[in-house]
Amino acid sequence: MSAGSLLRALVRRPVLALALAIIAGVFACALLAPLLAPYAPDDQIFDGLSLDGAPLPPSAQFLLGTDTLGRDLLSRLIYGARTSLLIGLVANGTAVMIGLAVGVIAGYFSGLLGGVLMRFTDLMTAFPALLLAIVLAALLKPSLWIVAMVIAMVNWVQVARIGYTETRSLSERDFILAERAMGAGNLRILARHILPHLVPTAIVWGTLGIATTVLLEATLSFLGIGVQPPQPSWGNIVFESQSYFQSAPWLVFFPGLAILATALSFNLIGDALRDLIDPTQRGRD
């Protein structure tokens, strides 16, 4: 199925069309943040606080209100989309590449090498991903790229197991055996026959994994070991404002809504792509 056919199939469903619109909006905010944001994300606006120093609620001047330092919340959310989406794409893209590399090598060559790689994958699976990410983030100096690499290091295992299973199945097909009988080398078989069959898997897991990555980044930032202020991310915006939840709920509600909408949209699109690309997997979890 071509990219155009996939897009048309997604747009025909109202819920998926809304999810695509949300994702497009997040990408627009990330790419055009300087043009869309009313203020710079770190500008402490003189009239952004009330007389008693409290943040201002949503108004005509500040559409989503201001935070505890008098900064425009809408501007910080727009710039935060850039941070959260960049980490989501980089971390998940890296995780998919690592997972596929491990799975393909283990599945194709099997033997001692495959056994060692898959036992290591099983070992990584045994650790709770969030706990492992917290430990790694705490040991390393938190920054945008460190957080992305930490998330990639804990998210590759599921892709590796799927890549291993599919590669093992493909390696036993008749056309692969015929290629070997004709003298084709391992690199030729991997490049021309194994990897192209794994592209749909990479697309589906690349989409589904972004939702998990965005949530994990938000969790790490909320715990204070993710992206560090003053660089805005949706997670650290919630972290900075958690003590004002009762007096200024918009400071937590709007970034929380952005995280929820983005993660849900990527999940919906990923599930739909899985059904469209491989209908035999429909309904399987």
Secondary structure, 3-state, 262-281: HHHHHHHHHHHHHHHHCHHH
∠ CA 60-25-156, rounded to 5° = 130
Residue 63: inside a domain? no
Domain region containing 238: 3-36+71-281
CATH of the domain at 140: 1.10.3720.10
Please provide the size of the chain in residues: 285
Two structure tokens written together for 9: 């199939």
Q: Which H or E element spans position 152?
A: helix 144-155
What are the two backbone dihedrals, phi and then psi, of residue 281, each rounded to the nearest 5 degrees? -90, 0
CA angle 182, 101, 175 (to 5 degrees): 25
pLDDT of amino acid 211 = 84
**In this structure, what token pair is assigned to residue 109?**
């060559």
**Look-up of token digits 């097909």:** 173
260 is written with which tokens? 């929820």
| Residue 93 included in any domain | yes
Give domain status of residue 232, yes or no.
Answer: yes
Is residue 55 domain-resident? no
Examine residue 180 and state whether it is found in any structural domain, yes or no.
yes
DSSP label at residue 243:
G
- At residue 25, the pLDDT reads 92
pLDDT at 53: 64
Residue 51 within a domain: no
Residue 134 within any structural domain of the chain:
yes
269, 20 Cβ separation under 8 angstroms: yes
Is residue 75 within 8 A of residue 235, CB to CB? The reply is no
Q: Is residue 223, in this structure, part of any structural domain at all?
A: yes
Rounded distance between C-alpha atoms, residue 17 and residue 274, angstroms: 16
pLDDT of residue 52: 62
What gap in Å lies between CA 239 and CA 130, rounded to an integer? 17
Calculate the dihedral angle through the C-alpha atoms of 125, 271, 170, 175, rounding to the nearest 10 degrees: -170
Q: Chunked in runs of 10, what are the mean pLDDT values of the chain (285 residues)? A: 65 84 92 91 77 77 86 92 87 90 89 87 82 78 80 87 88 81 81 84 83 84 78 86 83 90 89 70 47
CA distances from 16 to 19, 265, 268 (A): 5, 8, 7
Peptide bond before 230: cis, by omega within 30 degrees of 0? yes
Confidence at residue 284, expressed as pLDDT on a 0 to 100 scale: 47
Structural contact between residues 205 and 158, judged by C-beta atoms closer than 8 angstroms: yes
The count of structural domains within the chain is: 1
So what's the pLDDT on residue 3?
Answer: 59
